[in-house]
Chains A and B, each alone.
Chain A
Amino acid sequence: MSRRALVVACAAIYVFLMLPLLVVFPISLSSAPYMQFPPPGFSTQWYERYLDDPQWIDATVRSLYIGAATAVLALVLGVPLAFSLARGRYIGRTLLDRIALAPLVVPTIILSVGLYGLFAKLKLIGEWYGLVLAHTVLALPFVVLVIVAGLRDFDRALEQAAEGLGASRMSTLLRITLPLLRPSLVSAGLLAFISSFDELVVALFLAGPNMTLPKKMFDNILMEIDPTIAAVSVMQILLVSIVLVLIGRFGRGLSGSAR
């Protein structure tokens, strides 16, 4: 009986969670020249406008490669860091753990302002690799959380068996440890990519005249609510869905990484 009340309440909460994601679909296919709901007719004009506008495409492409570079760098730096935090035995490990996760807790606005001051001095504003460095800092905690969780469930006897059979540490790492860790690596990389692809606050300060997709969307929302942004939103939601499907299929469950 009370279980039914719980289900009904949760259904309402799910409506709240999903409503904003669903509402952009009909609007993106509207034939009206401005925001109108319900749409008076069907048209793909907003998708065409997006695809025909070099500014939108430019911003999308830039966000895609910044996201890809961030994912690669965050894995290259974050995986060894996670190994060190999960398996190392040294003084100050708890402190390192705090520092590695600090970018999650420290307000992004503070990091953005700090980097803005420094990068302006170094003439790095508007450089894509400057954004990659900043986004990597923000993505590191995700990589560390996912990989540390993966290592916690790891059966070390498999490594010991390989080494006992004469494998070098390097070949144990490459042929046993990393392949077994692949689901965690996939999740970590995809999360790092998405975190960069969606990131606005740092980009607002560091991107300069070179728009990223979130920055272009932000400017667009501030100036005019035109349904092009609904079309962009739909594509963004579909991209995230694909990434979540990939994580579900090839990655390690996300719920495990939530502490």
Chain B
Amino acid sequence: MTRRFSGVWPAVPALILLFFVFLFPVVRMLGFSVEAGTLDWYAKALGEGLYLRVFWNTFEIALLVTAICLLLGYPLGFLIATTTPAWATLGFIFVLLPLWTSVLVRTYAWMVLLGRNGVLNRGLIEAGLISDPLPLLHNFNGVLIGMVHVLLPYMVLPVYGAVRRLDPALVAAAEGLGASDWRIFWRIYLPLTLPGIFAGAVIVFVLSLGFYITPALLGGGKVMMVAVMIEQEVRQTLNWPFAAALSAVLLAVTLGVYSVAQSFTRQEAQR
């Protein structure tokens, strides 16, 4: 008995907190969606065009954000992993500083930068590059820029880890045999860091699905994502059962994507 549970006791206080302040309230809230004994609220969430479009929108934004983060995050993680230690430290600082700066501060800063009279539009007009301000804020572009900024570090760190784990002898061997930089990248770095890329992409995608602050502030009410819709159902419409059904769908998609991805990574590790 004691042996079978050796070392479990220190976990108990934290588990009590997680049960009462995490599992129980979430499950209780999700239960509201089937309180009436029917699945009507789910039918509404998944059947009506308006709501379906919000889910689709969220999915689309999450995919796009993931793709852009991949495009920007890979070179950055790669550079930090392959440079000298001193430069790597500096490189890390400028990834971690934005990561730990409040999302609100960054969102506010983007509003200052991207607005019609914002820093970027002013600069571009004064430089004579454009005549009318670009629509960068309170729309899809604004949400995209803001979200990529928040999530980029989550892509950089796993890529960095993957490149660091790679055996440098492989690269040295390829160089010795006369392979070009590009060839080394395509034939060695890219295939061998694929698990790291995948891990980063999954984290970014999953976190994107539940985003609230950035779409709420930078979308200007025009970009609807699931989390914003849930908040409105709870606080404005006071429609708890429907908010619960939306939450259940969001949670199912999030956990679904996450566990499928996890099982892939495990298979990869076993090979």
Residues in A lying within 8 Å of B, measured CB to CB: 1-3, 6-7, 9-10, 13-14, 16-21, 23-24, 27, 35, 37, 76-78, 80-81, 83-85, 87-91, 93, 96, 99-100, 102-103, 105-111, 113-118, 133-134, 136-137, 140, 194, 197-198, 200-201, 204-205, 214, 217-218, 221-222, 225, 229-230, 232-233, 236-237, 240-241, 243-244, 254-255, 258-259
Contacts and interface: CB of A to CB of B under 8 A. Distances in A.
B181 A2 contact: yes
- Top 8 A-B pairs, shortest CB-CB distance: A107-B210, A88-B7, A80-B10, A20-B109, A258-B157, A114-B25, A84-B11, A114-B29
A84 B21 contact: no
Interface in B193-213: 199, 206, 209-210, 212-213
Given A17-B95, A105-B255, 11 more contacts: A7-B79, A21-B106, A37-B118, A84-B10, A90-B7, A102-B18, A103-B18, A110-B250, A114-B27, A114-B30, A117-B28
Contacts of B96: 244, 254
Given A20-B113, A23-B119, A37-B112, A113 B21 contact: no
Contacts of B104: 198, 200, 214, 217-218, 221
B75 A108 contact: no
B92 interface: yes
B57 to A, nearest CB: 16
B266 to A, nearest CB: 11
B72 to A, nearest CB: 5
A77 B94 contact: no
Contacts of A78: 14
Contacts of B24: 118
A23 to B, nearest CB: 5
12 contacts: A17-B98, A20-B98, A20-B106, A90-B7, A107-B250, A108-B210, A110-B26, A113-B230, A118-B28, A198-B101, A205-B234, A259-B158
Contact of A13 (B23, B26, B76): B76
Given A17-B152, A140-B18, A244-B100, A109 B212 contact: yes
A37 B231 contact: no
Contacts of A87: 7
Contact of B17 (A21, A35, A136): A136
Contact of A77 (B17, B28, B72): B17
B103 A198 contact: yes
Contacts of A99: 15, 18, 23
Nearest to B161: A258
Interface in B91-146: 91-98, 100-113, 118-119, 122
Contact of B254 (A106, A133, A222): A106
B160 interface: yes
A117 B105 contact: no
Contacts of A2: 181-182
A118 B4 CA distance: 35
B176 to A, nearest CB: 18
A25 B149 CA distance: 19
Contacts of A233: 102, 105, 108-109
Given A37-B112, A89-B7, A105-B258, A117 B72 contact: no
Given A21-B109, A113-B230, A254-B92, A100 B18 contact: yes
Given A23-B112, A35-B112, A105-B206, A80 B101 contact: no
Interface in B1-60: 4-11, 13-15, 17-18, 21-30, 32
A180 B243 CA distance: 47
Main secondary structure of the interface of B (DSSP, over half): helix
A24 B108 contact: yes
A197 B104 CA distance: 11
Contacts of A81: 10-11, 13-15
A205 B15 CA distance: 24
A19 B148 CA distance: 14
Contacts of B240: 117
A109 B25 contact: no
A252 B246 CA distance: 40
Given A2-B181, A84-B11, A243-B100, A133 B17 contact: yes
Given A89-B6, A118-B25, A221 B18 contact: no
Nearest to B106: A20
Nearest to B6: A89
B110 A14 contact: no
A27 B112 contact: yes
B111 A225 contact: yes
Contacts of A20: 98, 105-106, 109-110, 113, 149
A90 to B, nearest CB: 5
Given A6-B75, A17-B152, A140-B18, A88 B254 contact: no
Given A17-B98, A244-B93, A244-B96, A80 B13 contact: yes
